[in-house]
Amino acid sequence: MDEPEEHHAHKGAFSLAKRLGSALLEWQKGGRPVVSKETMKKRLTICRDCEWWSELGKSKWAMCKACGCTSLKLLMGTSQCPLNPPRWKKEIEEIEEPPLPEGF
């Protein structure tokens, strides 16, 4: 199993929350860019095939257990998979209409 950039085994909820906060701050600083619907679907397909992904039944609620981010992370252009190497990377795209993530 690939490991997140920073080994997560000793990390708890505080570290996951800190990582999520950093991702949101970076997104805010970057002008809150969102990816295209195609990129969003591509990322979701990769995550759904990943051992770190967790979906709560039919609630449409999902999160990456490696970084603590929810599926909203997939929409953010500044986000990147935390594994080393990452399974998907940051993508700043020029798009006309932002996609809506599944369940939102």
Instruction: Kindly state whether residue 87 participates in binding ligand SF4, applying the rule CB under 6 A.
Output: yes
Chain positions 10 to 69 lying near ligand SF4, rule: CB under 6 A, are 46-47, 50, 52-53, 64, 66
Identity of residue 48: R
3-class secondary-structure state, position 82: coil
| Number of chain residues interacting with ligand SF4 (CB under 6 A) | 11
Among 5, 88, 94, smallest CA distance to 49 is for: 88
Q: In this complex, which beta carbon is closest to ligand SF4, that of residue 12 or of residue 97?
A: 12
Identity of residue 34: V
The radius of gyration of the chain from alpha carbons, rounded to an integer in Å, stands at 13
Among 68, 77, 82, 101, binds ligand SF4 (CB under 6 A): 82
